[in-house]
Amino acid sequence: MNDLEYGYLKSKILSLTGINLDNYKSGQMRRRLEGFIDRTQGLDVTLYSKRLDQNPELLQDLQDFLTINVSEFFRDTQAFEVLQTQVIPLMLKRSQRLNIWSAGCSIGAEPYSLAMILRKLSPGGQHRILATDLDEKILAKAKAGGPYSAAEVKGVPREFADKHLVADGGSYRVAEHIRQRVEFRRHDLLTGPPESGFDLIVCRNVTIYFTSKAKDFLYSGFTGALKDEGVLFLGGTEALLGFQELGLKRIHTSFYQKTGHGAADIHPRGVSQSAVGTTDAPGKVLSKV
């Protein structure tokens, strides 16, 4: 795909779906799209781009391809172990009203895992879990509490599965007492945080294909939205370079705590955002499984 073809396809995708491909690393994105178009249609890129206008199914397939929603409960056992045995217990010493945000929550497996942990560690606590994603379709499954496949729930520890999962034919649903602990909302991460004052922000496996500019914007916004001493929990491959400048310290692999002395207290809403979501349509960012 040459520059002209890629530019044309990008502008079609932006106008039809709101997904701003300028937020993605362009080499990887081109290769992925080339493979996808070739596999599904065998058309040349320009013809494919033109057909997107008239064919809603083609457009839906493309959106599904761009939005990688793969997720599972307690994804990354070791990191969730640290969260449960070290990070959340420390937070609970300070407050029984934790305000938590699961950003890019996909099918809801992540926020429901958090709800299960909190119910064990602090059954009487008045905690809040906000879970957001850009993808309406996936949020519908999250809000409904399933159904989840055996593969999606395989990481749920036995003690939690017995209490909080309900078998439903060959699949599983989250029990009502867990489902009602999570508030779901559609939100585009590239417009900045929906609120501030969070004790914990969990954003995992969302930024793999982001450009550095999009990541800078995101992490700066997250830091601004954390309370002092609040914690940012990232994915295993999403190490945060330059966390000190943001006013964070690394307290464990994947966990960063706000020190309260960083530049990120100034939220970057005013920054020029040609490629971070202030175009007419919301900028959607791809994610990695």
Ligand X SMILES: C[S@@+](CC[C@H](N)C(=O)[O-])C[C@H]1O[C@@H](n2cnc3c(N)ncnc32)[C@H](O)[C@@H]1O
Binding site for ligand X (CB under 6 A): 67-71, 75, 104-106, 110, 133-135, 138, 188-190, 204-206, 284-285, 287, 289
CB 174 within 8 A of CB 145: yes
Nearest distance from residue 70's CB to ligand X, in Å?
5
Residues 6+ away with beta carbon under 8 Å from 24:
209, 210, 211, 214, 285, 286
For the record, the structure tokens of 34 come out as 């080339």
CB 249 within 8 A of CB 256: yes
Nearest distance from residue 220's CB to ligand X, in Å?
15
Nearest distance from residue 156's CB to ligand X, in Å?
13
Complex with ligand X: residue 178 or 206, whichever CB lies closer: 206
Complex with ligand X: residue 209 or 243, whichever CB lies closer: 209
Alpha-helical (H) ranges within 209-249 are 212-225, 243-246
Q: What is the DSSP letter of 241?
A: T
Q: How far is CA 179 from the centre of its chain?
A: 19
Tell how strand 255-258 and strand 226-234 pair up: antiparallel
Distance CA 11, CA 6 (A): 9
Nearest distance from residue 104's CB to ligand X, in Å?
3
**Terminal CA-CA length for the chain:** 25
Complex with ligand X: residue 127 or 204, whichever CB lies closer: 204
Nearest distance from residue 87's CB to ligand X, in Å?
16
Complex with ligand X: residue 188 or 199, whichever CB lies closer: 188
Complex with ligand X: residue 72 or 262, whichever CB lies closer: 72
